[in-house]
Homo-oligomer: A and B are copies of this chain.
């Protein structure tokens, strides 16, 4: 009975997962202020969200809070980082060293969150052979030869028209998780996860909300 109460194979709702890094950031600031415990009530008040949502979100991890005290800051940070996969360092390949790919190569924050880009692939002879921020740019054909490496994450930043094809190659090459920055919806078998992160989609939401408050 202890393992049947989790519905749907214990899948964690995406909204909850997306909120967790926010809690983590908040907790790190709390730690800096030498707080030993934080209650869900305080987290909620400071962040402007619903208190029960905080406890519900955190309940997906292994943490348990103490009544009338809250959660221990240090252990909650540890538990969250572990749960979110920010502890172990995954190596990643970048596909498409154009403008956006280039941009990601400049962001060293990724390292702190468990992702390290070890090589990039492109077809443009103007960039192949170069090194950006210490990461070598190879020709896509080289990817074939590197299949045996223990690399499961691929970042997709190619132009839209190549997105589906390249994604397919990635999956065939053993990539298990594709971080898709193109606005194209990738269709693959279900042994490969696709995470869409279209910056422009977020921009669209912001523009729309700005117009809404204007009138």
Residues of A with Cβ closer than 8 Å to B? 9, 11-12, 14, 17-22, 24-26, 28-29, 32, 47-49, 84-86, 90, 99-100, 102-110, 113-115, 152-153, 160-161, 176-177, 179, 182-185, 187, 190-191, 193, 195-214
Q: In the assembled complex, which residues on chain B have CB atoms less than 8 Å from the CB atom of A17?
A: 201, 204-205, 208
Q: Please determine whether A204 and B85 come into contact, CB atoms closer than 8 angstroms.
A: yes
CA distance A99 to B26 in the complex (A): 21
12 interchain pairs, CB-CB under 8 A = A18-B202, A26-B185, A32-B161, A48-B185, A85-B204, A85-B211, A86-B204, A99-B106, A109-B200, A110-B199, A176-B214, A193-B213
Name A183's contact: one of B21, B197, B202 (CB within 8 Å): B21
A63-B51 Cα distance, complex, nearest whole Å: 41
User: Which residues from chain B contact A26 at a C-beta distance below 8 Å?
Assistant: 184-185
In the complex, are the beta carbons of B213 and A21 less than 8 A apart?
no
* A177-B207 contact given A18-B201, A183-B25, A187-B48, CB 8 Å threshold: yes
CB-CB under 8 A from A187, the residues of chain B are 47-48
Interface of A is mostly: helix
Whether the Cβ atoms of A107 and B113 lie closer than 8 Å is no
A195 touching B179 by the CB < 8 A rule? no
Distance in angstroms from A174 CB to nearest chain B CB is 13
**What CA separation (Å) do A21 and B207 show in the bound complex?**
13
B213–A202 CB distance below 8 A: no
Is B115 in contact with A161, judged by CB distance below 8 angstroms?
no
Besides A48-B185, A177-B209, 13 more A-B contacts (Cβ < 8 Å) are: A17-B205, A21-B204, A25-B183, A29-B160, A29-B184, A84-B204, A85-B204, A102-B107, A114-B207, A176-B210, A176-B213, A195-B205, A196-B202
Q: Which residues from B are CB-within-8-Å of A21?
A: 183, 198, 200-201, 204
A207 to B210, CA, bound (A): 32
CA A195 to CA B62, docked complex, whole Å:
30
> Is there an interface contact between A160 and B28, defined as CB atoms closer than 8 Å?
yes
- Judge whether A202 and B195 touch: CB under 8 Å: yes
